[in-house]
A = this chain, B = another copy of it.
C-alpha cells in the first residue's frame, strides 16, 4: 500500500501543485490567487502554505519537475546529433518545447533573474543545483562535437553557454512576435556566432584574447 500509492501527503501536495499550474497556465501567475489555488485543490488556504512556502515556490516545483523531463529528453536526443551547432540547438529546442505551454507563468520566475538574492533567481544559491545540471548538459554537448576547446577555456565554457541560454530564454519569454518568430531568428544567428567564436578561440593567435576574456569571467564569478 505504501509502495503502490503515493502517501496521502504526497497526493495532497500533488493536487495543490496541479491546481496551481492549471490556474497559472490559464490565467497567468499574477492573476491567480492562492485562495483560488486552495479552493481548486479542495484544501484550506493554510494547507497550500504547509506544502509550499510561497506562491513562487510552486513555480519552482514545476521547474524541478520540468528539468527532469528535459534532461531525459536531451540525453536521448543528443547522441543523434553530430556538429556543435546541431547539438547546442538540440538542447535549446528541448527547452523551448517544454516551456512553450507555460510561457504565461514562467515569466514569474524569470522576472527575478537579475536579483541573485531572490531564491527564484537562476543565479541564486537555491537554484545552484538546477544551474549545475544544466551546465553539465552543455559540457556533454561539447564533448563529442568534434570541436577542439582550448584547455584554459574548458572549465568555463559550459557556464558561458548556460548564460547564453538564459539570455535566449529571457528573450523568448518577452518575444511578442507571432510564434516567437524573432526568437527563432535570434537563436539561429547567435548560434552561428557562438560556434564561430568557440572555433576561433582555438587559434594560437587568440591566446591573449582568451586570457582577457577569462580574466573577466573569473572576476564576475568570484575568482
Contact = CB atoms under 8 A, between A and B. Distances in A.
Interface residues on A, range: 20 to 34
Interface string A178-219: 000010011001101100100000000000010011011001
Interface stretch (A13-21, A40-48, A112-120, A130-138): A112-120
B110 A114 contact: yes
Chain A at the B interface: SS class: helix
Contact of A182 (B185, B213, B219): B219
A171 interface: yes
B174 A216 contact: no
A150 interface: no
Contacts of A174: 115-117
Contacts of A116: 174
Output the residue of A113, A115, A170 with the most chain B CB within 10 A: A115
A72 interface: no
Given A193-B212, A196-B212, A213-B193, A185 B113 contact: no
A209 to B, nearest CB: 8
